[in-house]
Amino acid sequence: MVKDARTPPDCPGGHDGMPESDAARHLQNQLEILIQDFRRSTEPPMPVFVVHAQESGDDDAVAGLVRQLHTGQEAHGTRCAVTQDSYEGSTEVRRAAALVRALSDPRKWGGPKAVYRRYAFPRLRLVHAIDDAVAALGDSWPSPAPGSPEAGQDQRQRLLNELAQQRWRPKNTARWRSGLPLFDMAHILPASLVTVLAALLARSEWYVAVGAGLVFLLLLTVLNYVLPGRAPIFLWLRRESRWFMTTTFLRAADQEEPTEASLLRPVRSWRAIAARAYDVAEALTAGGDFHLQLCVLALREDLRDNHRRWSWDLRGFKRPRPPMLFLPHADDRNGGIELIRAISDVRSRRSELDPLLVVAAVRAHDVPRLERSVVQTAPAPDAAPPTFGVRLRTWYQEWGRNLRAEQSPSRERSVLPWVMKVPLPHDQLGPVEEGRHHLRASARPTPARLVWALHSLVLVVALVTTAAVMRADALHDRYCSASVLTANRDTRREQGSDGRTECIGIATDGVRFADWLPAPQAGDDVKALTADEDTPWTVADLEDLIARQNANVLGRHAGKYVTVVYAGPLSADTAAGSSLVKGAEELAGVYLAQAVINENSSVKLRVLIANGGVDLGRQVEMAEAIAAYAAHDPTVVGVVGTGRDLKSSRATTRTLMEAGLPVVSGTNSATYLPREFANWFSLAATDEWQTRQLGLIAAQLRTPDRRQYSLVLARDTARTDDLYTDEQARYGQRMLRRQGFTPLDQRRYTLSGGKPELRSHAQEICRGGRVPSVIYFAGRVEDIDPLMNQLGTEPGCAGKPLAILTGDDLSKADFAGGGQSVAPKVTLYHAALAELETAATSTGFYLDAAKHLPGLRGHSLRYDSPALASGQTALAHDATRALFWAATRGDRPQSRASTWVNLRSVKIEGMATGTIDFTGAPLYGDRTGHSIVLKEVSRTNDGTSEPHVVCRRKAGDTAPLTRKECRIR
């Protein structure tokens, strides 16, 4: 043999099925050449090789040759099927159909060692299922005898009921494989995976997503498999159903029913499948060649699908050898000749190539039954007769050249164009000469078997799972709400000073900051965990109420609302004793304003909550999150809150200003913010203005013509972000010097374990030769009790008159309720930002609070009710109302730019603190009309502390306080 690049190499031999004759060797070589071309993706046409002896006495030898070829191809790894000598059936066509039915068993096509997995024959099994249903209905279907019980029934429904009982599968087929139910995995598993992915994308926990998928899988399995008497779920999506509806072989010209299956139209698709099944069943009852040709067509399409290269599993690349069907005896007993005729007829009707290669042995006297073929007689002998192998290749080439013409329907004489008859002379059936080799196509595994295989899939799944777990772990470590694939990036996890995790940012998509608060333990301070003991609500209560209001706004008033962000401290540091009172009370004021607005206004208010951490220590990150969210939500018109003066306040306000967001603060008393930022509006009196008002009291503590010492005692802020203390200390020192006091060196106390270290300072202050008569305390409310304890016990100060002046942070102290106290002979003077008493007569704030705030409904509330006395709730309420007024001017939602501009024209009366008036506020300057209260706290004879108002101004009153008006006792 002359070899070229297309010729397969010699087979090393040494296996069962070695060719025992020259004819077998040459046929084996021809088969291997076709396999080599098939492997190279050239898609050669696969003929039906019909081998027959030239002499009748060699018929058995020819049959043995076909068996040799079958054994040899099995040894080469080809998927082979071999037929029996006989099949049951009343006619030869029926026996041929039974032969094809036997081929629908995947076990007929190679054993477990076959390359890749077994074949699947869903189309052929569907045809068999309809045939079995027709057989089960009996000969009276579809025309039952008149008067019989079946005569009055819908014959189509009878057929569909029978198919449903069979589960649209052939009868007597296995419903269990490998111990698992044979449910519609092609669609049930993807549907379950989609359920899992949907749950993960919704940021559910992974176990919730997996549980949802398993429940959905179980539900579909029950619907698809357990429930008897119904068609399988997703029947219209199966590949055999799609073929059943689209093949032109079954399409009728006068079809009245729908003939297409659609993914999105299951009912219409089901009707189309039912109609087609009925038409096919009627045709099967008519007999003839239709049944056999339909079975051959289905077998052919299944084999094409089993070798489709660009399938999801690349199975065509993994099966480089075409399937082969061997018929050692093709005759009337097994319907082999009718099968050969049907294969040729179906291939002639279809335009696609299929991979099936058929080798059949026919007895010499049955050859005329195959009519004529391309090779009618052996070629005339040459001077040097070619070998049988050369003749065989010549015959194949001539068959290929004439294939197109022989399939033409204009041929006068019927032919079998796909049949290539190979006459075998007697001399070629003898033993193979020693030293002769046969060919074998390349046995190298294809790249698809190595790259796209189970082991690589396991590796990819392992890598993807590892990457997903690592990503999920990273997302869970970084964000407050995360799933395997996604995360809510509006909130982030941050490490708190006490080692606990804080959730920082703006809460969206169901995030609750209350979920990140530490659970109260035995002995814990309730203030640090929820709110004040006099405050009957918690952060969780308020978040839920605000969420309900928001849901109602979005659900019923889309396009007719504005969004305000509350930015405050909603974390608690139990180690440092940091209180959550401020955040909880401010949030209550914001919710109260929202409830009242949404009840009475046509434009609604949506509130989003932002957390800046313990004492707003992470307010810059909070502001960045607010700005990022506002960039894609144009309904956000401004921010309420940021109520602590910190070193980061400038960066926070600048970030919000660059985002176009105005800020209305209820309690931030920073002096520099309104002077530096045009977007800053505050209801709180500035620190500088507060200390000037305290100067009216300090002047009364000064004895003329006598040296009196003063001292500023301030918390050390070197390692903190606190700027309020520094401002209070600076302005307090300036005020005392202006009033004629002799200032001593300023003292800074530090914290240890969250508690102030004041003992050494008290000793040096009280035991020196210059004991101050006035101390300006620039500290926090939580430090006042330790200070009073030291002053009340330290010699030099104990029992001697001493005045302490301090700023508005002391307004959070509960002196009347016994929460804080003052030392004997010590008088405490402090400012408060909210004057509630004189404003109470002209506001509906308390009635609204009793109606809407949790725990207060139905109560009779006053300005001095413990839950509202600090003024934090009132100031947050008034700030929210002011911002909403600017955002809805003219009873229409305004843009954030318009809201910023409109704030300078805000003037609202009847608020909890009086009249909120920004109309006189200069750009980059201080405004007037702040609410202010100066209080005096002294010790009574029974050891309690009694607060007393020295003088006051409600918001909107611009008349200056006087020394006479602020006379002390």
Q: How far apart are CA 346 and CA 505, in angstroms?
A: 69
- The β-bridge relationship of strands 751-752 and 479-482 is unpaired
The confidence score (pLDDT) of residue 413 equals 47
72-81, 231-240, 519-528, 920-929: least confidently modelled range: 519-528
Q: Is the pLDDT of residue 376 over 60?
A: no
* Sign (positive or negative) of CA dihedral 419, 425, 428, 431: positive
Q: How far apart are CA 696 and CA 715, in angstroms?
A: 24
Helix or strand or coil: residue 714?
Answer: strand
Residue 319 and residue 116 in contact, taking contact as beta carbons nearer than 8 Å: yes
The confidence score (pLDDT) of residue 414 equals 55
Position with higher pLDDT, 538 vs 169: 538
The confidence score (pLDDT) of residue 701 equals 94
Over the chain, what is the mean pLDDT? Answer: 84
**Segment 575-590 mean pLDDT:** 80
The confidence score (pLDDT) of residue 256 equals 58
Hey, what are 153's tokens? Answer: 């029934």
The confidence score (pLDDT) of residue 114 equals 64
39-53, 218-232, 641-655: least confidently modelled range: 218-232
* Residue-wise pLDDT tens digits, 345-370: 899 887 778 999 999 999 999 888 88
* Residue-wise pLDDT tens digits, 192-220: 666 666 666 666 666 777 777 777 677 76
**Segment 563-578 mean pLDDT:** 82
* Residue-wise pLDDT tens digits, 739-775: 999 999 999 999 888 789 999 999 988 987 889 999 9
The confidence score (pLDDT) of residue 179 equals 37
**Segment 106-123 mean pLDDT:** 80
Q: Is the pLDDT of residue 521 over 70?
A: no
Q: How confident is the model at residue 254 (pLDDT cuts 50, 70, 90)?
A: very low
**CA 936-942-948 angle, 5° bins:** 15
The confidence score (pLDDT) of residue 821 equals 84
Hey, what are 203's tokens? Answer: 């940021």
Position with higher pLDDT, 149 vs 95: 95
DSSP state of 251: -
With residue 703 as reference, give the H or E element that holds it.
none
Q: How far apart are CA 495 and CA 822, in angstroms?
A: 36
Q: How far apart are CA 36 and CA 7, in angstroms?
A: 8
Q: Is the pLDDT of residue 226 over 80?
A: no
The confidence score (pLDDT) of residue 842 equals 94
Q: How far apart are CA 623 and CA 659, in angstroms?
A: 10
Residue 421 and residue 366 in contact, taking contact as beta carbons nearer than 8 Å: no
Hey, what are 769's tokens? Answer: 């030769």
Q: 152: which residues sit within 8 A by CB, 6+ positions away? A: none
**Segment 838-857 mean pLDDT:** 92
Query: In terms of residues, how long is the chain?
Result: 969
Instruction: State phi, psi for 252 to the nearest 5 degrees.
Output: -90, 150
The closest of 293, 295, 239 to 101, measured between CA atoms, is 295
**Segment 704-733 mean pLDDT:** 92
Residue found under tokens 């000598």:
85
Residue 293 and residue 301 in contact, taking contact as beta carbons nearer than 8 Å: no
Q: In sequence order, which ranges of 40-176 are alpha helices (DSSP H)?
A: 59-75, 92-102, 122-137, 155-165
The confidence score (pLDDT) of residue 355 equals 93
Residue 953 and residue 959 in contact, taking contact as beta carbons nearer than 8 Å: yes
The confidence score (pLDDT) of residue 528 equals 38
Report the predicted TM-score, pTM, of the whole model to 2 decimal places.
0.66
Q: Is the pLDDT of residue 293 over 80?
A: yes
**CA 462-465-469 angle, 5° bins:** 140
Number of Cβ within a 10 Å radius of residue 208:
15
The confidence score (pLDDT) of residue 567 equals 97
Residue 666 and residue 879 in contact, taking contact as beta carbons nearer than 8 Å: yes
Q: Is the pLDDT of residue 224 over 50?
A: yes
Residue 533 and residue 527 in contact, taking contact as beta carbons nearer than 8 Å: yes
The closest of 919, 948, 918 to 934, measured between CA atoms, is 948
* Residue-wise pLDDT tens digits, 470-499: 988 899 899 999 887 788 999 999 987 767
Q: How far apart are CA 870 and CA 939, in angstroms?
A: 20
The end-to-end CA distance of the chain, in Å, is 128
Q: How confident is the model at residue 272 (pLDDT cuts 50, 70, 90)?
A: confident
The confidence score (pLDDT) of residue 176 equals 40
Q: How far apart are CA 599 and CA 411, in angstroms?
A: 89
DSSP state of 498: T
The confidence score (pLDDT) of residue 315 equals 83
Q: Is the pLDDT of residue 519 over 90?
A: no
**Segment 798-821 mean pLDDT:** 85
Hey, what are 599's tokens? Answer: 């009840």
> CA dihedral in degrees (874, 876, 881, 885; nearest 10)?
140
The confidence score (pLDDT) of residue 579 equals 62
Q: 633: which residues sit within 8 A by CB, 6+ positions away? A: 563
Q: How far is CA 920 from the centre of its chain?
A: 51
**Segment 61-83 mean pLDDT:** 91
Q: Is the pLDDT of residue 21 over 60?
A: yes
Q: How confident is the model at residue 682 (pLDDT cuts 50, 70, 90)?
A: very high
Residue 624 and residue 492 in contact, taking contact as beta carbons nearer than 8 Å: no
Residue 830 and residue 810 in contact, taking contact as beta carbons nearer than 8 Å: yes
Q: 730: which residues sit within 8 A by CB, 6+ positions away? A: none
Q: 476: which residues sit within 8 A by CB, 6+ positions away? A: 482
The closest of 645, 639, 672, 643 to 658, measured between CA atoms, is 639
123-132, 198-207, 747-756, 816-825: least confidently modelled range: 198-207
Instruction: State phi, psi for 42 to the nearest 5 degrees.
Output: -85, -10
**Segment 880-905 mean pLDDT:** 95
Residue 164 and residue 133 in contact, taking contact as beta carbons nearer than 8 Å: no
The confidence score (pLDDT) of residue 694 equals 95
Q: How far apart are CA 776 and CA 729, in angstroms?
A: 8
Q: Is the pLDDT of residue 560 over 50?
A: yes
Residue type for 31, please? L
Q: How far apart are CA 274 and CA 102, in angstroms?
A: 26
The conformational region for residue 232 under phi > 0 = left, psi -120 to 50 = alpha, else beta, is beta
**Segment 885-906 mean pLDDT:** 94
The closest of 828, 613, 834, 646 to 727, measured between CA atoms, is 646
SS (H, E, C) 146-205: CCCCCCCCCHHHHHHHHHHHCCCCCCCCCCEECCEECCCHHHHHHHHHHHHHHHHHCCCC
The closest of 170, 168, 453, 110 to 303, measured between CA atoms, is 110
Q: What distances in angstroms separate CA 800 from CA 588, 694, 797, 806, 825, one per listed residue?
A: 42, 22, 5, 19, 6
The confidence score (pLDDT) of residue 412 equals 46
**Segment 165-181 mean pLDDT:** 63
Residues 891-895: contacts with CB under 8 Å, at least 24 apart: 891/601, 891/602, 891/603, 892/603, 893/560, 893/561, 893/562, 893/603, 893/635, 893/637, 894/562, 894/637, 895/634, 895/637
The confidence score (pLDDT) of residue 184 equals 56
**DSSP-assigned states of every residue in 290-342:** HHHHHHHHHHHHHHHHHT-TTSTT-HHHH--S--EEEESS-STTTTHHHHHHH
